Amino acid sequence: MSTPTKPLSEVLGAIDALWPVSGAEEWDAPGLIVGSADHAVSSIHLMVDATLESVAEALEQGADLIVAHHPLLLRGVTSVAESTYKGRVVADLIRGGAALYAAHTNADVVPTGTSAQLADLLGLVEQSTITEGGTPGHGLGRVGTLPAPMSLYELAVTVGEFLPQTAVGPVAAGDPEAIITTVSLCAGAGDSLLSHPSVVASDVYITSDLRHHPASEAREQALLGGGPALINISHFAAEWLWLEQAATELRSATGLSVSVSDLNTDPWTFQVHRVGG
């Protein structure tokens, strides 16, 4: 039996139906990064980050198309020389005969997107988006209620158990014994939503890449009775959870072979804990 093959243009149509580019944030750069419309696709490989290692993995597996969550060329570049990381990735893709596509915030906002996967793993009920998009049910982040209340410490442990292991696990800010019922979350970098009414009204906010000052100010405000506890998790880990769902949807939409990278592309490789006084 021959392996099903489709032109990239047809596959891109299926991808846009799943994660419409029109739903992306204005600052974002999703879409086709490397490849041509008539490129033949029989195998798709999904990943969070298009790194040298993850691209090499995809090419070794014979992928014709890589779908990465993070855009390789989100910020402007003036060179794709192979002495640069991005230039080398582009060259490797071209030499290896693989196209590269990025599904970023357009994949965050759909009802089965990155934040929805995190919310579903927590079993949140009565879910809604933090910020509503132009299409009903679409939007950034999720707010919901835990099936049963638990302490902040228990919740942080629970989150750490279903995330892929990274050098730095969940880090929490707040009273470990505080009882958590309502949860707001945003997979990926979400400190821009810290002051959103839905986040402020929740018992805890789970997101990634929280910086010192926004986190500190949010915690100080919470001490005055106006804000949630915080759980900061790995950006890579939070979004990796979405890949299996994305693969299932892509297989159904295209009929092609779809695989998921299990490489850890979190940039941090180890953490040091001080021993003794």
Span 265-274, pLDDT tens digits = 999 999 998 8
Residues sharing a CB contact under 8 Å with residue 188, sequence separation 6 or more, in sequence order: 108, 114, 207, 208, 209, 235, 238, 239
Instruction: Output the pLDDT for position 276.
Output: 73
What pLDDT, on a 0 to 100 scale, did the predictor assign at position 11? 98
**In which region does residue 215 sit, left (phi positive, over 0), alpha (psi from -120 to 50) or beta (all else)?**
alpha
> Is the Cβ–Cβ distance between 137 and 111 less than 8 Å?
yes
CATH numbers and ranges of domains, the chain? 6-106+242-257 (3.40.1390.30), 114-238 (3.40.1390.30)
Give the max Cα distance, the chain: 67
DSSP state, 3?
P
Give the Cα separation of 198 and 201 in Å (integer): 5
Q: Band of the pLDDT at 232, cuts 50, 70, 90?
A: very high
CA-to-CA dists, residue 227 to 75, 144, 175, 195, 201, angstroms? 33, 16, 13, 8, 6
1 pLDDT more than 70: no
Pairing of strands 204-208, 229-232: parallel
CA 269 to mean position of chain CA atoms: 19
Task: Give the SS3 label for residue 251.
Answer: helix
Does the pTM surpass 0.85? The reply is yes
Place of tokens 């209620």: 145
The tokens for 70 are: 């993070």
Eight-state DSSP code of residue 192: G
Q: What residue type is 116 in one-letter code?
A: A
End-to-end CA distance of the chain: 67
Average pLDDT over residues 67-80: 92
pLDDT at residue 3, as a whole number? 81
Rounded to whole angstroms, the Cα distance separating 84 from 193 reads: 33
Stretch 226-244: mean pLDDT:
96
Separation CA 248–CA 211 (nearest Å)? 34
Nearest CA to 96 among 30, 46, 34? 34
Assigned token pair, 86: 């991005």
Both tokens of 225, joined, read: 């009775």
**Average pLDDT over every residue of 197-217:** 96
* pLDDT for res 76: 83
pLDDT digit string, tens, across residues 19-40: 999 999 999 999 999 999 999 9
- Kindly report, residue by residue over 81-134, the tens digit of the pLDDT: 999 999 999 999 999 999 999 999 999 999 999 999 999 999 999 999 999 988
pLDDT at position 277 is: 60
Q: What is the mean pLDDT of the chain?
A: 95
- pLDDT > 90 in the chain, percent: 90
